[in-house]
Amino acid sequence: MAKVGSNFPDFSLQSYSQKEGSKNVDLNSLKGKVFILAFYPKDNTPGCTKEMCAFRDDWAKFAEAGIRVFGVSLDSIKSHESFAAKFEFASLELLSDSDGDLSNALLVGEDHPKRTLFVVDKEGIIREIIEGMPNNAELLTLCQSLK
């Protein structure tokens, strides 16, 4: 697995949000911003739905703090569109790592990514790695300290 203090690997993934539709997101476009990539196993499963709904519910707090939050799975954009519509993820961006390249580079799982969250600072350095379900209040405080 990637380590705290290391550079986040370069990536370019297709993203979907109800607000913005599909677009590409890459590491270069996130430089200068604190961001979170929350890897989860699969759209529409109980734990993953709970985690992404918590980010949906707290999205405004993260946005006000200038922190970008992305959910990442191996699911296709089509699956993300359905998942986002079903649970009203208006602004929450879901990234499709359909070929598994980023998941494999970070060693978070090959068939289904383990629930692993990466907090990345403005310079692209991994500042925190959290396995399992995150506490969004603590996560927000951590991210604000990196600004």
pLDDT, tens digit (0-9, with 9 covering 90-100), for 69-116: 999 999 999 999 999 999 999 999 999 999 999 998 887 766 667 899
Catalytic residue (one of 48, 52, 67, 126): 48
User: Which of 101, 117, 138, 137 minimizes the C-alpha distance to 4?
Assistant: 117
- pLDDT higher than 80, residue 1: no
Question: 3-class SS at 133?
Answer: coil
Alpha-carbon span 13 to 26, nearest angstrom = 6
What is the pTM assigned to this prediction? Answer: 0.93
Specify the range with the lowest mean pLDDT, choosing from 24-28, 113-117, 133-137.
113-117
CB 12, CB 25: distance < 8 Å: yes
Alpha-carbon span 35 to 62, nearest angstrom = 10
CB 34, CB 66: distance < 8 Å: yes
**48 among known catalytic residues:** yes
> 105 is written with which tokens?
């580079």
